[in-house]
Amino acid sequence: MVDDAPCMLKAFRDILEASEYEVFEATNGEEALAVYSEVKPDIVLMDILMPKLDGVTATKKILERDPSAKIIVVSAMGKSGLEKECMEAGVKDFILKPFKIQELLASIKSLARG
Amino acid sequence: MSDKTMMGIEAVRGYQEDIIEAIPSTIIVVNRNLEILYANRNYYVKSGKRDRNVIGERLSRAFPQMLIEKTRIDDKIREVFLRGEPFDGDQLRYPGGMFYFYKIYPLKEGGEAISKVVIFMENITELTRLEEELRESYVKLENAYEDLKENDKVKSEFISTASHELRTPLTVINSYIEMFEEGMLGDLNEAQREKIQIIRSQTDHMIRLVEDMLDASRLESKKFKANKSPMRLEEIARNALDELSRLAGLKEHTMSLKINGSLPEIGGDERRIKQVFNNLLTNAIKYTPEKGVIDVTIEDEPMQVKVSITDNGIGIAKKDQEKIFQKFFTGSGSSLTRESGRMGLGLAIAKGIVEAHNGHIWVESMPGEGSTFTFTLPKYDWN
């Protein structure tokens, strides 16, 4: 889970651990790259607006190194151009904040299976 | 000269000198040697040479030397003698901030060469001052307009940033409410469940307000684009009516949908058009007293589809009918009497969405009798 808001990371953790997922945190794009290559997670939840390295750039870099990476963008930025850019870059899903927990879990579940 | 002019001159021949003397402009006649042959009364008054006769004096003595050097009026007079063409005029600045405008005309006598020219001088100090004032006002106005545009931009950016920033805490709150509701955090007792429900409905309301603010700033900055695909208006209308039936039920309203003709599929952004229905219907429900009647009519017209939403509610005063589509308009009463929970964005957003589809939206209303909001969507995409 990549998000610069600590309370958002905590909420993600509570939601996902309740569904028995193991989670790793990163608070910006740079950290995300480091954590990704270290733990090779099954799924990445990526925020967009972050310090140091933004989510779009981080997403592209991760996909460059690992084209099979499964990335879900979870962002407060609802611009249609942004969604298009992310999907074209190879993101699996684009979820707008605020989301429904079930919507998030459904997206994760379908990727975890696939 | 025309016959009429000749007759006129004939009629005033006796007192034409008085007329020339009375003209509130300076008139000076000079010969080829730039000697003054005539100067009217205005010249003496303006030049302060009341007690002196300037006839026969050279122009260079009658005019301040500095002035002649500055304007080269002497050269210009010689030029008029040489060419026989009038000099069309120039500005002349007198010491002490006086402005004059002067012209030089050749005086032709019969077919002979030009032996005299007449100089007309007009005091344009006041005019110049006004012109300057006007120019200054224009610059001020332009600056004020730029400031206003800048303020508006800053305001839009602020709204956009603020609503983005609000989304993250709202997401966190929303997630935990959902976890409580889903029982992910243990069983709740009745009192806890009731309170969670209140937090839920208030959070939903806050999310809607934030979404509206974002939409308004998006529509304003023209960043809003309709994602068009074929859509069925009838279906959208039905869904909107279904979703709002609970709200309408609380006030025991009767809502109906009437379709005139068979509706074609048209291109549009389904989610956005649904939002238009929602906003108009929510208003109709809100501003109609209990047991009201709300009708949605959709008509197929040659070039467009027309949707009307009619209620028999409180209506809208004539003076407010234009303003209700402006953002942040919440009625023309004092700000202390406005209803809570609204920001005056619903209709502005509806208008923005309809216009992004190249359609139109308007209202017809009689206070006390009800309102009809109508919007049209073109059937063909001309782009």
Q: Residue B173: closest CA among chain A residues belongs to which residue?
A: A11
The pLDDT of residue B337:
46
Q: How far is A77 from chain B (nearest CA, A)?
A: 7
Closest to B244 (Cα-Cα) out of B205, B291, B273, B282 = B282
> Does the beta carbon of A14 lie under 8 angstroms from any beta carbon of chain B?
yes
Beta strands in B70-115 (DSSP E): 87-94, 98-107
Whether the predicted model's global pTM rises above the 0.80 cut: no
**Closest A-chain CA to B204:** A98
**Enclosing H/E stretch for B297:** strand B293-300
Minimal CA separation from A107 to chain B, in Å? 16
Q: Do B169 and A14 touch (CB under 8 A)?
A: no
Q: Which of B159, B163, B164, B172 to mutate to test the interface with A (most CBs of A within 10 A)?
A: B172
- Work out the burial of residue B178: count CB atoms within 10 Å of its CB; fewer than 13 is exposed, 13-18 middle, 19 or more buried: buried
pLDDT for the residue B215 = 82
Please state the ipTM of this predicted complex: 0.86
Chain A residues within 8 A of B179 when measuring between CB atoms: 14-15, 18, 101
Percent of chain A exceeding pLDDT 70 equals 96
Residue A58 reports pLDDT greater than 50: yes
Say which of A10, A97, A101 has its CB closest to residue B178. A101
CA angle, residues A101, A102, A105, in degrees to nearest 5: 85
- DSSP E strands in B95-156: the ranges are 98-107, 116-123
The verdict on a CB contact (< 8 Å) between B225 and A101 is no
Q: Does A80 touch chain B (CB under 8 A)?
A: yes
Q: Give the per-residue pLDDT at B331.
A: 66
| pLDDT at site B336 | 52
Q: Which residues contact B374 (CB under 8 A, 6 or more apart)?
A: B306, B307, B308, B309, B361, B362, B363, B364
Q: Å from A68 to nearest chain B CA?
A: 29
Residue (of B327, B363, B324) closest to B345 by Cα position: B327
CB neighbours (10 Å) of residue B55?
12
Tens place of pLDDT for every residue, chain B, 383 residues?
677 777 777 778 888 888 888 888 889 999 989 999 999 888 888 777 766 788 888 888 887 787 788 788 889 999 999 888 899 888 877 777 788 888 999 988 766 778 899 999 888 888 889 999 999 999 999 999 999 988 888 887 888 788 888 888 999 999 999 999 988 889 999 999 999 999 998 999 898 888 888 888 777 766 677 778 889 999 999 999 998 998 899 999 999 999 987 888 888 988 899 999 999 999 999 999 999 999 999 999 988 999 999 999 999 888 888 888 887 776 655 445 445 556 778 898 999 999 989 999 999 999 989 999 999 999 876 54
Min distance A11 CA to chain B CA atoms (Å): 6
The enclosing H or E element of B29 equals: strand B26-31
Contact A101/B179, CB-based, under 8 Å?
A: yes
Nearest to A100 by CA among B184, B176, B211: B176
Of B175, B214, B227, the CB nearest to A11: B175
Asked if A11 and B184 come within 8 Å (Cβ–Cβ), the reply is no
* The token pair that represents B60 in the structure block: 């260079």
Instruction: Answer with the residue of higher pLDDT: A3 or B54.
Output: A3
Selected residue of A7, A14, A97, A99 to mutate for chain B interface (largest B Cβ count, 10 A): A97
For A69, the token pair is: 């990476």
Residue B307: per-residue pLDDT: 95
What is the C-alpha to C-alpha distance for residues B62 and B352, in angstroms, rounded to an integer?
71
pLDDT tens digits for range A72-97: 999 887 666 788 889 899 999 999 88
Question: How far is B184 from chain A, CA to nearest CA, in Å?
Answer: 7
Residue in B closest to A75 by C-alpha: B168
Instruction: Spell out which residues of chain B touch residue A78, defining contact as CB-CB under 8 Å.
Output: 214
A5:B168 CB<8 A: yes
Report the share of chain A in percent with pLDDT over 90: 71
